[in-house]
A and B are shown apart, each in its own frame.
Chain A
Amino acid sequence: DAGVTQSPTHLIKTRGQQVTLRCSPKSGHDTVSWYQQALGQGPQFIFQYYEEEERQRGNFPDRFSGHQFPNYSSELNVNALLLGDSALYLCASSRVSNYGYTFGSGTRLTVV
């Protein structure tokens, strides 16, 4: 049974560019959350998607946007990249209103 799959695993972008990260949830899960983990910090909640809509959003600027598709997979888009956006981006899936989050291995984004 495949867990949460994220792609790509690593990415290098230049300041000002845009990036799209992808996540396929665990089989049977319908809710996807995205987290940003900066070096030496705990993961910070970006937003959560359920039924193709954003249900909750953390303290991140509008440059961060997302999407959920009918098959429950999700994308995270970041526009106008800043050096400070360099981090590990984690996707977590769960069933709605269930606390059993499964995390992917993350995408390591480096902005130069």
Chain B
Amino acid sequence: DQQVKQNSPSLSVQEGRISILNCDYTNSMFDYFLWYKKYPAEGPTFLISISSIKDKNEDGRFTVFLNKSAKHLSLHIVPSQPGDSAVYFCAAIALSGTASKLTFGTGTRLQVTL
């Protein structure tokens, strides 16, 4: 049962253009959403997050949008740079007592071309 889904395994975008990565979820108990970036041979690195009480969060070139009614979130990267080429994971948290496990999607490989 995949509670967090990233339906696009890969995405190719030209340098300078906008990259839009999408994520859907099924569990309405999720309180918090995060995006992680992963390079080969490294662990995931936190990018940006959003609480379920908000619909947008911005940090420099990265903006995350949350549509709770559609159970959908997206990550926008503007402008895209070659160094953004990596695998991006969407993750969600449902608080359970004092524990807070991350539920990840399967990832989208972004390639930013020159």
Bound-state CA distance A63–B110 (Å) is: 36
Using a CB-CB cutoff of 8 Å, which residues 68-114 of chain B contact chain A?
A: 89, 91, 93, 96-107
Using a CB-CB cutoff of 8 Å, which residues 49-74 of chain A contact chain B?
A: 50, 55-56, 58
Q: A42-B89, A56-B96 are in contact. Are A48 and B101 (CB under 8 A)?
A: yes
Chain A: interface residue count, which band?
20 to 34
Select which of A44, A48, A105, A106 is within 8 A of B104 by beta carbon.
A44
Quick check: A99 and B101 within 8 Å, CB to CB? no
Q: Does A96 lie at the interface of the complex (its beta carbon under 8 Å from any beta carbon of B)? A: yes
A38: shortest Cβ distance to chain B, in Å? 10
Select which of A4, A40, A50, A58 is within 8 A of B43 by beta carbon.
A4
Bound-state CA distance A33–B107 (Å) is: 20
Q: Does B42 lie at the interface of the complex (its beta carbon under 8 Å from any beta carbon of A)? A: yes
B77: shortest Cβ distance to chain A, in Å? 19
Bound-state CA distance A92–B5 (Å) is: 21
Select which of B93, B97, B107 is within 8 A of A42 by beta carbon.
B107
Quick check: A97 and B106 within 8 Å, CB to CB? no
Select which of A41, A90, A92 is within 8 A of B106 by beta carbon.
A41
Smallest CB-CB separation from A88: which chain B residue?
B43
Using a CB-CB cutoff of 8 Å, which residues 1-42 of chain A contact chain B?
A: 4, 33, 35, 40-42
Residues of B within 8 A of A40 (CB): 106
Smallest CB-CB separation from A94: which chain B residue?
B100
Q: Does B41 lie at the interface of the complex (its beta carbon under 8 Å from any beta carbon of A)? A: yes
A-side interface residues toward B, CB under 8 Å?
4, 33, 35, 40-45, 48, 50, 55-56, 58, 90, 92, 96-97, 99-106
B-side interface residues toward A, CB under 8 Å?
4, 6, 32, 34, 36, 41-46, 49, 89, 91, 93, 96-107
Q: 5 nearest interchain CB pairs?
A: A103-B43, A42-B104, A56-B99, A45-B101, A55-B99
